[in-house]
């Protein structure tokens, strides 16, 4: 699904069943979605976390975990050299093992997009840029659009935008919706290779307060045409948790049932161990279903996770843990 295939406004009006989208219509619709019982959602996520993934299943899951990673660095101290190192690791996470897959994407701030594009040329690894005054999103729409255009013009394949949580919590749903639509439009133009950049919508679930709000924000992002719903910036705690990922997976599953359109899910922040990653994959498998076990539909935003997965992967191959000195540094 790319940004140019559908007119999100027409589809949103159709899904909601109104002729004009406004705050009232969006509120009625989003608040009419089935609620999320917090105790029950936590219990379901905890139950799935007890799945015991061993031997062949574990080997398969570890490789998939690598293939869905958006290898991320979002630090003020990032340099061109650090980005080039990260890109080399993204291409060949384990230089000693040619069977080790590449990660899905490298995720950086948008001024570093040209460096990443250059370093990843021909690798198939995508370049994602955080835009729209990441992480707070507190800037005028003109700045957010310019920010996005910058990244797209520099060749970013994917844009990770943040929603305006202030507007969302104040009930100004139309404003949030329109911003997403506008950024989506900006993703569709100016890309050197043509086509539209893929739009991930960061809900920053740690600031939304309730699971009901997480579900509503996810539906709002899907109504506005987001290609992926993403939990967090990684700058706010809590970031990705199993129950929040569960709720997003339920949302994309129900959206697919309602519209036939595929939306991806990306938990980001706080997933540091292979065990955590495999638990998320179990959640995907048993919630949205096996079709979502694919980098086109599911990503994990992470940095230190990759080395833990590589450590476990090597242990499965050689039967013992390699020392940390046998891995390339996380950055």
Instruction: Provide the annotated active-site residues.
Output: 160, 230, 266
* Cβ at position 102, least distance to another protein in Å: 15
Q: 220, 202 in Cβ contact below 8 A?
A: no
* Cβ at position 287, least distance to another protein in Å: 9
Query: How crowded is the C-beta side of 300, counted as CA atoms within 13 Å?
Result: 31
DSSP 249: H
Judged by DSSP in three states, 237 sits in coil
Residue 271, number of CB atoms within 10 A of its CB: 28
**Sign of dihedral through CA atoms 249, 268, 154, 115?**
negative
Residue 124 or 324 with smaller CB distance to another protein: 124
Q: Give the integer Cα–Cα distance in Å for 246 and 33.
A: 16
**Which positions touch another protein (CB under 8 A)?**
34-37, 39-41, 43-44, 50-58, 60-61, 64, 250, 281-282, 285-286, 290, 293
Residue 58 or 198 with smaller CB distance to another protein: 58
Residue 62 or 113 with smaller CB distance to another protein: 62
Residue 65 or 161 with smaller CB distance to another protein: 65
Q: Give the integer Cα–Cα distance in Å for 97 and 88.
A: 14
* Cβ at position 210, least distance to another protein in Å: 12
* Cβ at position 290, least distance to another protein in Å: 5
Judged by DSSP in three states, 126 sits in strand
């Amino acid at each position: 699904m790319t940004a140019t295939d559908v007119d999100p406004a027409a589809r949103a009006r159709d899904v909601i069943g109104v002729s004009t989208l406004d705050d009232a219509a969006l509120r009625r619709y989003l608040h009419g979605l089935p609620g999320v019982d917090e105790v029950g959602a936590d219990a379901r996520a905890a139950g799935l976390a007890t799945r015991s993934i061993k031997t062949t299943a574990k080997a398969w899951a570890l490789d998939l975990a690598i293939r869905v990673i958006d290898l991320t660095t979002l630090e003020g101290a990032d340099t061109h050299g650090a980005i080039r190192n990260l890109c080399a690791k993204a291409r060949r996470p384990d230089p000693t093992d040619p069977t080790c897959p590449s990660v899905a994407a490298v995720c950086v701030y948008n001024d570093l997009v040209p460096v990443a594009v250059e370093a990843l040329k021909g690798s198939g690894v995508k370049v994602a840029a955080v835009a729209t005054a990441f992480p707070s999103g507190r800037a005028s729409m003109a700045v957010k659009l310019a920010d996005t255009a910058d990244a797209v013009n520099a060749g970013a394949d994917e844009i990770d935008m943040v929603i305006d949580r202030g507007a969302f919590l104040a009930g100004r749903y139309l404003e949030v919706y329109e911003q997403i639509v506008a950024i989506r439009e900006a993703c569709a133009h100016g890309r050197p290779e043509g086509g539209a950049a893929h739009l991930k919508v960061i809900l920053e679930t740690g600031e939304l307060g309730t699971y009901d709000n997480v579900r509503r924000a996810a539906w709002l992002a899907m109504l506005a045409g987001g290609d992926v719903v993403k939990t967090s910036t990684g700058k706010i705690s809590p970031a990705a948790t199993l129950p929040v990922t569960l709720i997003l997976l339920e949302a994309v599953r129900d959206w697919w049932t309602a519209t036939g359109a595929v939306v991806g899910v990306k938990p980001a922040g706080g997933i540091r161990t292979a065990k955590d990653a495999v638990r998320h994959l179990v959640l995907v498998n048993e919630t949205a279903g096996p079709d979502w076990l694919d980098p086109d539909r599911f990503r994990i935003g992470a940095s230190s996770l990759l080395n833990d997965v590589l450590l476990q992967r090597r242990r499965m191959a050689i039967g013992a843990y390699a020392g940390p000195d046998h891995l390339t540094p996380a950055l």
